[in-house]
Amino acid sequence: MAVLNSILGLVGLYVLCGLVFAIPFVLKGAGTIDPVAKEGTWGFKVLVIPGVLVFWPILARRWMSGATHPPEARNAHGSCACGGKKRVEGS
């Protein structure tokens, strides 16, 4: 039972930190790391709060590093579509 209480305490602390981070991030930080989010409505800001609660360490690192654009996706489809050297056989 003590282990379960410890785990729940850590999860609660994580969510509390996420909530403390989410308020200033939604108001200011989201528009800093993604210019499109700067034009977001209040509805958008309310909808992203659960995601910010979960991913707050990643978002905090991006915000503190001064990132001004979302990261570029790197996958096989994007490489082929953008003229990359990887090609799928038969296409």
Question: Residue 91 falls within a domain, yes or no?
Answer: no
pLDDT reading at 70 higher than 90: no
Question: Residue 27 falls within a domain, yes or no?
Answer: yes
DSSP annotation of 28: I
What is the residue whose two structure tokens read 């999860």?
Answer: 11
Question: Residue 73 falls within a domain, yes or no?
Answer: yes
Burial label for 29, CB within 10 Å (0-12, 13-18, 19+), is buried
% the chain with pLDDT above 70 = 85
pLDDT of residue 85: 55
Q: Give which of 56, 2, 6, 9 is closest to 29, Cα–Cα.
A: 56
Question: Residue 87 falls within a domain, yes or no?
Answer: no
Domain region containing 47: 2-81
Burial label for 46, CB within 10 Å (0-12, 13-18, 19+), is exposed
Question: Residue 12 falls within a domain, yes or no?
Answer: yes
Amino acid identity, residue 69? Answer: H
pLDDT reading at 73 higher than 80: no
Band (20; pLDDT cuts 50, 70, 90): very high
Question: Residue 69 falls within a domain, yes or no?
Answer: yes
Question: Residue 65 falls within a domain, yes or no?
Answer: yes
**Whole-number average pLDDT of the chain:** 85
Number of structural domains the chain divides into: 1
Q: What is the pTM of this model?
A: 0.70
pLDDT of residue 84: 54
Burial label for 4, CB within 10 Å (0-12, 13-18, 19+), is exposed
Question: Residue 16 falls within a domain, yes or no?
Answer: yes
